[in-house]
Chain A
Amino acid sequence: MKNKNNIRFIQGNEACVEGAIYAGIDFFAGYPITPSTEIAEHLASRLPQKGGKFIQMEDEIASMGAIIGASLTGNKVMTATSGPGFSLKQEALGYACMAEIPCVIANVQRGGPSTGNPTHVSQGDVNQARWGTHGDHAIIALTASNHQDVFEMTITAFNMAETYRTPVILLLDEVIGHMREKVTIPETGKIPVVERLRTSVKKGVDYHPYLPREDGRLPMSDFGEEHRYNVTGLFHDMWGFPNNNPKVVGELLRHLVDKIENNVNDISRFKEYWLDDAEFILVSYGSSARSAIHLARNRRSRGVKIGVLELQTLWPFPSELVKEKCAGAKAVIVVEMNLGQIVTQVKNAVDNPHNVFLSNRIDGELITPTDIKSLLRVIQGKGV
């Protein structure tokens, strides 16, 4: 990349690829699935140009397995999929949580359940991103509503995967993935990139792959280097040896959850529009947030005190932030394209859950400003 701002007019999926390249991706494994396929297609061409590796695997599960294997040799890795593929990846995703392996999983959401509505938009996988894999765990899931943000959140996803040694889910949607928009790719170094934290423990000294430092981070050692250790999906001790001692089990699970939940403020990304005096607050994310922002701008011009809180980190859910931002609102409208996945979180977060309403659309069409306005008018007492 030349050291100049690079302005492009591209799909969201391509903005994601540009973000991954900027973040230093070395390895991608994937399987064709609409509407995420362009991520694989572009990386198939881009990765070998910089000496990286692309592989099309035999299925979604194998793609997830391959990126975990490649991460352990010291690579920055990613896979991309959509609903059905995301379902298939869940077991290996849980493995990456348990074994603390940095990786990024992009899920460009389409309508579900099952094969659903492959070429249409939905935000139905929000709860699956949180609870798709079995067992208690914590997860990071990020999203974006425009291509500049897709670019930046992809970099953030790679950064957080390295920082917290965990899988990070990039929850995009079909509208964002396929729409074309301007993206400015900044010069190298403008946006910070977090590199793999490698152990400074010397050869011959006992290295503990699962012993957190004081700051909570766990330095890694690449497969092939001097430290030979065991990686397993079983509960394990600080050496990576399987262990079902109740103390070890309890402490490891606590650690896996705490390292993320306790850092919710560092992990939270959001944007706010006209919130200072807002009586009505639209809470939204992804492509839905575009319609929310459009409506708020439009109503503002007519004197309605309305604002938008756009969430870019969905998990861990930023409850404190939502509570604080919505404290003065007469009504909070959550705008999302599902039957109410984030609205439940918002109701739990705010002081007065009775003032939280859902404006949604679940028919494969992008929710419009008019859709949101209809509900707003009812809440305002202006009739249907």
Chain B
Amino acid sequence: MTTQAFNFKDYIRPRFFPHIWCPGCGHGIVLGSLLRAVHELGLDKNEIVMTSGIGCSSRISGYVDFHSLHTIHGRALSFATGVKLSQPNLKAIVPMGDGDALAIGGNHFIHAARRNIDITAIVMNNRIYGMTGGQFSPLSGSGKKATTAPYTTIDRDFDVAELAKSAGATFVARSTVYHANECKDLIKKGITHKGFSVVEILTQCPTYYGRKNKEGDAIQMMEGYKTNTAKIGSKKLEKNPDLIQRGIFVKNTDVPEYCEAYDKIIKTAMKGKA
């Protein structure tokens, strides 16, 4: 915990700005929540490696003044696995889009979860491929419109939280950009959790998803996050169980973290050698 006041400029690389995001995009709120989380945890900028893939959300890694690794589409978690296992003292944070994390990168996602390697994956779910101009993603869900679904999608979607949970992630949470403070708190918990943590954040893409599906402008889409979601354990959810749940789904501290488990392998191997 740090007592100094939060200042954006302490954590960003001005050279990278202006950012590439459209007006009304929710990704900036995620970036804000992330930086506030890092600030409140009092982390040293040198101990953070931000690894990302390709897409609008993946550009976050360049904007922040940490060690940053902007990799190839879908594979960020595998690069981050190399960073983390080779240097476990570093904090590995991986901002990912929904297509990046769960279409092209789906295999790496479930295996990082299975290993329980200490990486924090922030899945910024806007239910669309934004950077390429509005194609449907595995999180769009059926009956949605996209440039590659002019007659609506017939593909079903994943539930990120359920998938992460089944694959073995030991910390799984969800929030939305409407709930910026909650986002910050969940990211903090994700970073401090020892093991693979997934924080899904619903974030609006008014330019493509919103426009194609007549969900209105950024403000209306954020209003939607307010009305269509409810905190786990809340009265609101009890009354209306079909709402999208927010909060912590899994927090399991009993499973060994991968790098710590490997350290034991090293001890065993060294003993055998001597």
Q: Mark A62-87, 1 if CB is under 8 A from B, else 0.
A: 11111111111111010000000000
Asked if A51 meets B270 with Cβ closer than 8 Å, knowing A92-B72, A229-B67, A233-B70, the reply is yes
Contacts of A232 in B (CB 8 A): 62, 70
> A68 to B76, alpha carbons, bound, how many Å?
11
A91 in contact (CB, < 8 A): yes
A70 and B72: CB pair below 8 A?
no
Contacts of B16 in A (CB 8 A): 241
Segment with Cβ contacts to B, from A174-182, A219-227, A280-288, A359-367: A219-227
B68 and A67: CB pair below 8 A?
no
> A198 to B161, alpha carbons, bound, how many Å?
42
B86 and A48: CB pair below 8 A?
no
The count of A-to-B residue pairs whose CB atoms sit within 8 angstroms is 138
Output the least CB separation between A301 and chain B (Å): 48
Contacts of B46 in A (CB 8 A): 224-226, 228
B239 in contact (CB, < 8 A): no
Asked if A53 meets B86 with Cβ closer than 8 Å, knowing A58-B107, A65-B75, the reply is yes
Contacts of B76 in A (CB 8 A): 65
Output the least CB separation between A232 and chain B (Å): 4
Segment with Cβ contacts to A, from B181-189, B227-235, B261-269: B261-269
Contacts of A29 in B (CB 8 A): 81-82
Contacts of A77 in B (CB 8 A): 82, 86
A51 and B266: CB pair below 8 A?
yes
Closest to B70 in A: A232
Asked if A62 meets B45 with Cβ closer than 8 Å, knowing A69-B51, A224-B87, A239-B15, the reply is no
A68 and B70: CB pair below 8 A?
no
Output the least CB separation between B79 and chain A (Å): 4
Asked if A228 meets B45 with Cβ closer than 8 Å, knowing A58-B108, A58-B111, A233-B71, the reply is yes
B65 and A228: CB pair below 8 A?
yes
> A74 to B83, alpha carbons, bound, how many Å?
10
> A234 to B69, alpha carbons, bound, how many Å?
11
A27 and B82: CB pair below 8 A?
yes
A234 and B270: CB pair below 8 A?
no
B89 in contact (CB, < 8 A): yes
B9 in contact (CB, < 8 A): no
> A75 to B84, alpha carbons, bound, how many Å?
12
Closest to A61 in B: B75
Contacts of B111 in A (CB 8 A): 57-58, 62
Taking beta carbons and an 8 Å cutoff, which residues of A are in contact with B?
A: 26-27, 29, 45, 48-49, 51, 53, 55, 57-59, 61-75, 77, 91-92, 95, 222-226, 228-234, 239, 241-242
Since A65-B82, A72-B69, A232-B70 are in contact, a sample of 6 more A-B pairs with Cβ atoms closer than 8 Å, ordered by chain A residue number, is A29-B81, A49-B272, A55-B82, A65-B72, A66-B79, A223-B49
Taking beta carbons and an 8 Å cutoff, which residues of B are in contact with A?
A: 13, 15-16, 45-47, 49, 51, 61-62, 65-72, 75-76, 78-87, 89-90, 107-108, 111, 262, 265-266, 268-270, 272-273
